[in-house]
């Protein structure tokens, strides 16, 4: 296995798991958001196109996202690192495209780890979340403070209100359920409930089954 796709609803803890993998495994982490921002910063042909689309409030289409992933994934696969894909594929079409990009038997090297969290748990998690208005650090209900370590004010984002969260979950379900169905033979579900260290322990056990060892 060389490519690990992280799936999970908003609030399922994908960000935490991605960070844990980056710190404890020999991985190259791909977030499509970051890849897009990089291209914009480099002012590459694709980057300029993306900048126009985002500037006019549009959504970056599958063709562009696929192109950027294809370009970057090839560079990394040669290095032997585990490639972690986060936020991609987001649709079944992208999943089919990704298989198409993989030469030969490489698509058999794809494994999918889906963080499974009850939607009520997600709603509770996100609606209790506060974000620093200055540095963007996220705080949960266990953080009994009013001011960020950096001195910034903690605010509740509009996006984190319960009705908005429920809408995002519905959208995620409609868009991404077909992705996990598509990968049924290559997918493992891991419960994302409980403390972060309980979740990462489950992730370790799953990766061990895939033959992936932690970095020493």
Instruction: Give the total residue count for the chain.
Output: 216
CB of 28 to Zn ion, least distance (A): 28
Stretch that binds Zn ion, among 26-34, 66-74, 105-113, 144-152 (CB under 5 A): 144-152
- The DSSP code sequence of 182-206 is HTGGGEEEEE--S-HHHHHHHHHHH
E-strand stretches of 96-205: 110-116, 130-132, 138-139, 154-155, 187-191
Residues in region 47-76 near Zn ion by CB under 5 A: none
Annotated catalytic, 130? Answer: no
- Under rule CB under 5 A, residue 148 binds Zn ion: yes
132: contact with Zn ion by CB under 5 A: yes
CA distance 146 to 138: 12
Tell me if 31 sits within 8 A of 87, measured CB to CB: yes
**Candidate list 14, 111, 130, 202, residue with the active-site label:** 14
Under the binding rule (CB under 5 A), the answer on residue 115 touching Zn ion is: no
125 is catalytic: no
Number of residues that bind Zn ion (CB under 5 A): 7
Angle between helices 62-77 and 92-101 (to 10 degrees): 40
Q: Smallest gap, in angstroms, from Cβ of residue 128 to Zn ion?
A: 18
Active-site residue set: 14, 90, 129, 157, 168
Residues that bind Zn ion (CB under 5 A): 132, 134-135, 137, 148, 150, 152
């Amino acid at each position: 296995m060389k490519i690990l796709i992280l799936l999970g609803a908003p609030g399922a803890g994908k960000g935490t798991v991605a960070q844990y993998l980056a710190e404890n495994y020999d991985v190259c982490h791909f977030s499509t958001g970051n890849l897009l921002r990089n291209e914009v910063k480099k002012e590459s042909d694709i980057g300029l196109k993306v900048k126009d689309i985002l500037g006019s409030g549009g959504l970056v289409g599958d063709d562009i996202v696929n192109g950027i992933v294809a370009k970057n994934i090839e560079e990394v696969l040669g290095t032997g690192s585990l490639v972690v894909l986060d936020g991609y594929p987001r649709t079944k079409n992208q999943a089919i495209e990704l298989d198409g990009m993989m030469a030969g038997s490489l698509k058999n090297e794809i494994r999918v780890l889906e963080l499974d969290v009850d939607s009520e748990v997600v709603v509770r998690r996100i609606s209790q979340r506060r974000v620093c208005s200055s540095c963007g650090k996220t705080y949960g209900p266990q953080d009994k403070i009013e001011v960020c370590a950096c001195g910034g004010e903690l605010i509740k984002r509009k996006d984190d209100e319960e009705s908005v969260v429920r809408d995002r979950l519905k959208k995620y379900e409609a868009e991404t359920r077909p992705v996990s169905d598509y990968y049924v033979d290559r997918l493992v579900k891991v419960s994302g409930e409980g403390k972060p260290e309980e979740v990462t322990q489950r992730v370790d056990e799953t990766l061990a089954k895939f033959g992936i060892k932690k970095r020493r």
